[in-house]
Chains A and B, each alone.
Chain A
Amino acid sequence: MSITATLRLLIAFAILVLLNYTLRPLLGWRTPMDFLIIALLLASVRVRPGVAALIGCAMGLAADSITPASFGWGALAMTAVGYSASWLKAVFFADNLLLNGLFFFLGKWVYELLFLIAARRLHGAEMVMQALVWSPLSAAATALAGIFLLVLLRPLLETSPA
């Protein structure tokens, strides 16, 4: 990846991180969109799986620092998502918005499931409800936001002709 492309990716990444800490709490939805996952997935498909795992781990730790009760579990889930996304980029790395939306949806849902299973903060019906209702809804919101942002940030994220 060229320096220009790396800079563009960093700018897009910073915008998404900022959106996660400004727009998300401002909206305050019950099924919030996760801009960190979008940022992780966008970065993961552009770097090697090991680097993606590293980015996921760093982002997860930073995000977990605000919720000390589940500190580490989010990092673990993000590491897994980042690594997997980087491996699966051959499948999803296409200039198709719907495929990218599906990619965001799966990434977010898998992250939620991993987090739920690993952190074990919910049990029984509540956990099922979270895993099968709220998490997919949140993943859908994330996917829609991801598609919207892909359109908006296309000048930053498109690959250079060289």
Chain B
Amino acid sequence: MARTARSGTRLDTVLFAVCGAFSLLFAGILPGNVRESFAAGLRRTVVAPLVSLQRRAELSRSAFLTHDAITAQRDSVAVRALGVAEIESENRHLRALLGLGAKLQWGFVAAEAMHAEDTHARTPSEDYTLTLTAGSRAGVRPFSPVVAPGGLVGMVRSVDPTMSLAITWADPDFRVSAMTADGSAFGIVQAHLGTGPERFLLELRGVPFRNTLTPGVLVVSSGWGGVFPRGIPVGTVLGEVKTAEGWARTYLVRPAVPPPEISSVMILQPQRVSAGVETVWASVIAADSAARKVSAAGDSIARLAAQEEVAARRAALGTDSLAAAQQAAVPKTHAESVAVATGAIVSRPTPVPARPATPRPATPKPTDSASARRRPPADSARRTAPRLDTLIPSTIPSAQPTGGRQ
């Protein structure tokens, strides 16, 4: 028993000595490259899973440590991003204001407009009031027009040395003499005083009953009255408002400058009002005019296309084939159709009247201007011509190119 214990102790000592010598061999005796190759072998085999675990744990720790910093960074970026839209809007507005200043060239005072909400002076009437950061020292006078790049904003009501108060077009007392951009209709623009979505809309009142305005027509100041010079955009027509007045029409107008967009404005000085500002917004008016013409032409083309389709169907069904052939003989080009729609005067050949001796079911309509516009153009007749080929030739007594009908 004692011999076994002694031999066991000796074995332990030998093992310890061997392990110690082995460790010392690697620690100080073997060259570095041998040591490194042995360590690399261990790293690639036995220790590889442990090294992988350690790397992932370190990555997790660094992710955990940087999480707060990254979150704070992301939050600050998000906060900045929230303000970008506002900054872009302000930038766009200021650029437009610079453009307006360049067009006006002289006779104006630039000012910041503070709303009643900003100045904490909130009373019901001050929803329509602006405090402007320019006063009499800068040349601002009462009744000076206040404009923005989009058009008319309002009018200066009272002036202090360093600031002034202005009413916007939304004020119930505000009036401006206005007209359509082409000068075809005149009226007085005032606040609509509606509720909800219609709160900040305008009315064009007193338009003569004979003048019908289509939605989208630009309304500008007419220059009558002496306060507002001619040619400042006021808004665009939205539609007619039914009123009890039988002698005039009233139209709902969308303002050119919505109240929330009023931030920086220009105050026109009396000399500039006298000189006129018609050239400043001329491009806007011209664009509106062109847009209306294009729109009208598009409507006309669509209407004519619909009529062509109806005529073609009728021809195909054979219910009125001879009438269709006669219509095909009436020369009318597509360009004429467009010109008619846009209001241009186009010479037109007199249509051949129907012969009373041989009445047909499809007798041509009277040749007044309205019916002439409804007539299918020549190109539609050409489209229907091939359909005539499908008819039995014997049923067409004389389908000659002259267009005569027997």
- Residues of A at the B interface (CB closer than 8 Å) are 17-18, 21-28, 48-51, 53-54, 56-57, 60-62, 64-66, 68, 70-73, 75-76, 79-80, 83, 86, 118-119
Contact status B25-A72, CB under 8 Å: yes
Contact status B20-A25, CB under 8 Å: no
Tell me which residues across on chain B come within 8 A of A22, comparing CB atoms.
53-54, 56-57
A23 vs B56: C-alpha distance when bound (angstroms): 11
Least Cβ distance of B356 to chain A in Å? Answer: 107
List 23 A-B pairs, Cβ < 8 Å: A17-B50, A21-B51, A23-B57, A26-B58, A26-B60, A49-B13, A50-B14, A50-B16, A53-B16, A57-B20, A64-B39, A66-B43, A68-B39, A71-B35, A71-B39, A72-B28, A75-B26, A75-B27, A76-B20, A76-B24, A79-B19, A83-B19, A118-B27
Least Cβ distance of A75 to chain B in Å? Answer: 4
Contact status A61-B13, CB under 8 Å: no
- Does B290 sit at the interface, judged by CB under 8 A? no
What total of chain B residues lie within 8 Å of the partner, measured CB to CB?
34
CB nearest neighbor in B for A75: B23
- Does B42 sit at the interface, judged by CB under 8 A? yes
Contact status B46-A80, CB under 8 Å: no
Chain A proximity mask over B34-50: 1 for CB below 8 Å, otherwise 0:
01101110110011001
Contact status A72-B24, CB under 8 Å: yes
Given contacts A21-B57, A25-B61, A62-B46, 6 further A-B contacts (CB under 8 A): A50-B12, A53-B12, A72-B24, A72-B28, A76-B20, A79-B23
Contact status B28-A65, CB under 8 Å: no
A3 vs B27: C-alpha distance when bound (angstroms): 35
Contact status A79-B26, CB under 8 Å: no
A23 vs B53: C-alpha distance when bound (angstroms): 10
- Residues of B at the A interface (CB closer than 8 Å) are 8, 11-16, 19-20, 22-28, 35-36, 38-40, 42-43, 46-47, 50-51, 53-54, 56-58, 60-61
Tell me which residues across on chain A come within 8 A of B28, comparing CB atoms.
72
Least Cβ distance of A81 to chain B in Å? Answer: 11
Q: Which of A21, A53, A76 contacts B53 (CB 8 A)?
A: A21
Evaluate whether A68 and B26 lie within 8 angstroms (CB atoms) in the complex, with A62-B46, A80-B20, A83-B16 already known. Answer: no
Least Cβ distance of B402 to chain A in Å? Answer: 100
Least Cβ distance of B136 to chain A in Å? Answer: 70
Contact status A61-B16, CB under 8 Å: no
- Which 8 A-B pairs have CB atoms at the shortest separation, nearest pair first? A72-B27, A50-B15, A72-B26, A50-B12, A76-B23, A57-B19, A65-B42, A75-B23
Q: Which of B47, B53, B54, B57 contacts A62 (CB 8 A)?
A: B47
Tell me which residues across on chain A come within 8 A of B15, comparing CB atoms.
49-51, 53-54
A64 vs B46: C-alpha distance when bound (angstroms): 12
CB nearest neighbor in A for B54: A21
Contact status B27-A71, CB under 8 Å: yes
A70 vs B36: C-alpha distance when bound (angstroms): 11
Contact status B12-A48, CB under 8 Å: yes
Evaluate whether A79 and B20 lie within 8 angstroms (CB atoms) in the complex, with A21-B50, A61-B42 already known. Answer: yes
A70 vs B16: C-alpha distance when bound (angstroms): 20
Least Cβ distance of B52 to chain A in Å? Answer: 9
CB nearest neighbor in B for A60: B23
CB nearest neighbor in A for B24: A76
Tell me which residues across on chain B come within 8 A of A79, comparing CB atoms.
16, 19-20, 23
A107 vs B60: C-alpha distance when bound (angstroms): 30
CB nearest neighbor in A for B60: A26
A76 vs B19: C-alpha distance when bound (angstroms): 8
Tell me which residues across on chain B come within 8 A of A28, comparing CB atoms.
58, 61
Least Cβ distance of B377 to chain A in Å? Answer: 83
Contact status B50-A57, CB under 8 Å: no
